[in-house]
Structure formats: structure tokens, C-alpha cells
Amino acid sequence: MKSIEGNFENRKVNELLIKHFAELSSVSPVDRGHVLDIPGLRNPSIKFWSLWENDELIGCGALKFLDKEHGELKSIRVADKYRKKGNGIKVINHLIDEAKKLNIKKISLETGSGDFFEPARKLFYKCGFKSCEPFAHYKKDNDACYMSLLISN
């Protein structure tokens, strides 16, 4: 498996991100959705990676710098063909490894609290994330779950 940083222009990556944005927008409250579109992922505070098996896109994810030692996971998505095969863990572990290289000490994330997001929450717990209070700009919200993971380099 190889990873490529910041290749938004790749057709497969672009299609996966558009599908991710559309799907999450359809199941999130209109006024509180936190999914980033492609222009949002281009923000200089965000690093984005796609993971590949030969020419097949497995998935993608991003790390947003909240400060020099705290990052937030964003836009984690596994291509349909690669779901339910352990690839979500591979994407998350890749992001954790990249965070370590960047001297990040804590990774946080926000995900939905509804049934649609249950598989994501289970995956994050399996990767060692723990529930936490809202962080950065987030506020308490019954439609959201907040998690964090302390990492060591």
C-alpha cells in the first residue's frame, strides 16, 4: 500500500471526496455539518493523504492542525469496494503515523451520534480513541460525538 499527499486533482480521489461530502451532508443537521468539501481540505492548516493498492484507491483522510501538538482527523473515507475489510483501520493508522512524524501529541475528532455513524464510532474506539468533551471550536451538541487519542512519538 502506498500513500500520496494532497492529490485532490486525481479523478478517483475527487469522486470519493464528492461522494463523502454528499453522503455526510445528507445525514447531518443542515446547520451543524462539519464535513469539509475539497476547497476546505485545501486549507494550509490541513494535510491530506490518499491510500492506494496499485492503481486502486483504498481510501483517504486528513489531519487538521489545531495547534502545534493537537490535530483533528477529517474526511476519513474508504472506497466502497474496500469497506468491511480492515481498511478503515489502515487509513486511521496511517493518519496516526503521519501525525507522529509531525510531532502531534493528541488527535481529536468529531463524528455523528446517530445510527448512521455507529460503524465509524466503533472503528475509532477500536483504534484507541476515547470519548471527550468538545474541543477547538466545537460546542456540546446532541448530534455529535467527540473523541481523542493521546499519541507518543
pLDDT tens-digit map of 34-80: 566 777 788 899 999 999 999 999 999 999 999 999 999 999 999 99
19-43: buried (b, 16+ CB within 10 Å) or exposed (e) per residue?
Answer: ebbeebeeebeeeeebbbeeeebee
Tell me the domain boundaries of the chain: 2-150
- The grid coordinates listed for 57 are 484507491
Q: What is the pLDDT of residues 72-106, one digit of tens each?
A: 999 999 999 999 999 999 999 999 999 999 999 99
Q: Which three cell numbers stand for residue 152?
A: 507518543
- Single-letter amino acid code for the residue at 8: F
- What class does CATH assign to 2-150? alpha beta
Output the nine-digit C-alpha cell for 59.
Answer: 481510501
So what's the pLDDT on residue 32? 53
Q: pTM (2 decimals)?
A: 0.90
48 burial via Cβ count (<10 Å: 0-12, 13-18, 19+): buried
